[in-house]
Amino acid sequence: MRVLVTGATGRYGYAAALALVETAADVTALVRDPGATAATDLEKRGVRLARGRRDQLDHVEDALADADGLFLAVGGPGANARTTADRAETLVRAADRTDATVVHASLVNADVRPGVPFVDVRGWIDADLVSRSVTHVSLRPGIPLDAFERARDAVAAECRVPFPLDGHARVPLIDPRDVGRAAAAAFTDERPPDGERLPVVSGAYSLYDVADALEAVLDRSIEADPQGPTAAPRSLTAFYRWANEGALLGVDTDALAARYDVDPAPITDYFARAGWT
């Protein structure tokens, strides 16, 4: 299996590239700057680098020429919305023209199109893949657990975990590495994907649940500090407002295991692995 990974220096692309290498897949990462730290790290781990831009059709098609599959990831909330949309359109067109199988890193309930640009574009990508009859699967992570890294200092110094959730709110959480594992399983499965929409979540948690998980890992009392969506970075305020309303709930958390036999790890595993101990 030969796979081109886009967004390889970002959260999910990086995880997918490493997970694919572990399956002995032939992995190439499309990167703008081969000298970037994440890119050189991937190269040391067995990932080939192809220099190019996700919004340039010839760059993507050239990199896809010898590939069987495309891991499709676009920019996060801080990226320019127009640039992200251009990248998305280019990647889908390239996959269509080269007959590559696509694994898309989408988002839970992206089809709703809530008016949050980085969510809407993922819903648009999924719809475009369907309209072009591209062989694909849409992996739909919840909120990545590395979002809590912003709270690490407060946890260490003040034994509290501040986060832009309301006290009653529950949201699905996921370790980004599990998205990589799911992508590797999708590419290496004998059955071709059939446009499935697969939530990739460990479960739904309140901030109080996260505090309990940190207590278990750190072996000391940790207090939840729910701050509401206005405490989020400006690029994420609308997203967390949407999430606080329960918009990310109601998904089939067993679908991924049923399709690819991948069970996301408990959230305590992330905090232990990420050095919170």
Digitized pLDDT (tens) for each residue of the chain, 277 residues in all: 999 999 999 999 999 999 999 999 999 999 999 999 999 999 999 999 999 999 899 999 999 998 999 999 998 888 787 888 888 999 999 999 999 999 999 999 999 999 999 999 999 999 999 999 999 999 999 999 999 999 999 999 999 999 999 999 999 999 999 999 999 999 999 999 999 999 999 999 999 999 999 999 999 999 999 999 999 999 999 999 999 999 999 999 999 999 999 999 999 999 999 999 7
From the list 62, 52, 63, 134, the residue with the least C-alpha distance to 93 is: 134
Q: At what angle do helices 37-44 and 11-22 cross, to 10 degrees?
A: 10
Q: How far is CA 222 from the centre of its chain?
A: 27
CATH code of the domain in which 135 resides? 3.40.50.720
CA atoms of 173 and 213, how far apart (whole Å)? 12
| pLDDT for 263 | 96
CA 115-230-14 angle, to 5 degrees, is: 65
User: How many other CB atoms are found less than 10 A from the CB of residue 214?
Assistant: 25
- Cβ atoms of 16 and 180 within 8 Å: the answer is yes
Structurally, the chain folds into a number of domains equal to 1
User: Rounded to an integer, what distance in angstroms lies between the CA atom of residue 41 and that of residue 43?
Assistant: 5
pTM above 0.85, yes or no: yes
Spell out where the chain has E strands. 2-5, 26-31, 48-51, 69-72, 101-105, 136-141, 143-144, 160-163, 170-174, 197-200, 203-206, 223-226
Q: State how far the Cα of 189 lies from the Cα of 168, in Å rounded to an integer.
A: 39
> With contact defined as beta carbons under 8 Å apart, do 47 and 8 qualify?
yes
pLDDT (0 to 100) of residue 81: 79
- Residue 237's DSSP bridge partners are none
Structural domain for 258, as ranges: 2-273
| CB contact burial 60-83 (16+ within 10 A = b; e otherwise) | bbebbeebbbbbbbbbebebeeee
